[in-house]
Amino acid sequence: MTTQEMKKAFEEAYGRKAEKIYFAPGRVNLIGEHVDYQGGSVFPCALSFGAWLLIAPNAERVLRFKSLNMPQSYEIPIDAIAPQPDRAWCNYSLGCMDIIARRHPEAKLQNGYDLLYYGNVPAGAGLSSSAAMEVVTARAFTEEMGVVIADDKKYRTELALIGQECEHVYAGVMCGIMDQFASAQGKKDHAIYLNCDTLEFEHVPVKLDGIKVVITNTHSPHHLDSGAYNDRVSQCKLAVEQISKVKPIKFLAELTEEDWREVESAITDPIAHKRARHVVGEVARTAAAVEALKRGEIAYFGELMTASHVSLRDDFEVTGPELDALAEAAWQVEGVLGSRMTGGGFGGCTVSLVRDEAIETFKSFVGAEYEKKTGLKADFYVAEIGDGVMRLE
């Protein structure tokens, strides 16, 4: 859908023109999964698809929410912002407005607004459609509510933190910072090497000569709010508590692989032990992968991606039959350097590095094998790495 079509839809919905248009991207994480809430480093990049928001103030002190993707519309008084029942999609927007006001006491909603959202991130694909919605809302309403942060990098980090807190408070998902950070700080043709504890980061050029990043959608939607995600967070916390009896730590990511061998016996819970082993190994893999990319060692980068999936399957247990079927089929295709699940898991997408000449074979073979094993049809997207959140008009 073009921005002109979105403008027309806004006029049809509200009988007047939108005054401003914003965009925030979804993201794909190349490596570094389920480490962000344990202080680890991740390596995501922003995508060229995401969420758009068109707004115009109104004189009625109400917030009107419409989406071109959802049938439900909402009308909320600006003096009654609170989580809405039945997992209402407007909670992601309301939450951001609420969190902006909590974090910035000077920020005020002076009037109501008419809002129209459109997104082309496949819902439930694990490519951060919710984070894109949060970040685009935070971008629009920090501006509307008078939040001023002159330093652009600090401002974008603040947008990410607003989105993360919204996810915690309004969606009940105790996510890390990665998704919102990638949507806010993305840079075209670069991935973000982000330390999720300190929020220090580096934009690393993604130079893949003759190789493409291919995202494959299981069409088995993931559900981070189902409880399994929060269970993993709790299991990692238990591992930290038990390790801290012999070596005080705040996060599992503080442990090197050598440290791990010295302290792993302190974890008496077998499930927590497996979760911790994944985190420590994934942090090391991510660091090695970033250095490999900088040196142009793409084949090694791909091997580390595949090792990441194996760990997520065996130790973190967040892949499931659909993601495993995609990854295992991809590993059989000549010209695939590596393939792994991406995102929270429990469904969603894989990300693969595929040589240009192998892309059609990859789609054909992986698609056929996946349908044979699951009865589902996969979709394939050749990813373009884009910029972070922006005001378009």
Rounded to an integer, what distance in angstroms lies between the CA atom of residue 195 and that of residue 35? 10
Give the closest residue to 388 by CA, choosing from 209, 190, 205: 190
Q: Where are the alpha helices (DSSP H) in 145-227?
A: 152-166, 178-185
Q: Within 10 Å of residue 149's Cβ, how many Cβ atoms?
A: 14
Stated length of the chain? 393
What residues contact residue 35 under an 8 Å CB cut-off, 6+ apart?
41, 42, 176, 196, 252, 253, 279, 282, 283, 286
Dihedral angle at the C-alpha atoms of 129, 132, 134, 138, nearest 10 degrees? -170
Grouping H, G, I as helix, E, B as strand and the rest as coil, residue 176 is: coil
Across-strand partners of 214? 352, 382
Structure tokens at 243: 């390790």
Cα–Cα separations (whole angstroms), residue 281 to 27, 254, 349: 23, 11, 22
Q: Alpha-carbon distance 220 to 320, whole Å?
A: 10
Whether 338 contacts 305, CB under 8 Å? yes
- Would you tell me the crossing angle of helices 320-330 and 359-374 to the nearest 10 degrees? 140
Both tokens assigned to 103: 């974090």
Q: Indicate if 179 belongs to the active site.
A: yes
Which residue in the list 36, 98, 179, 315 is annotated as catalytic?
179
Query: Is the C-alpha dihedral spanning 173, 346, 182, 108 positive or negative?
Result: negative
Which residues participate in catalysis according to the annotation? 179
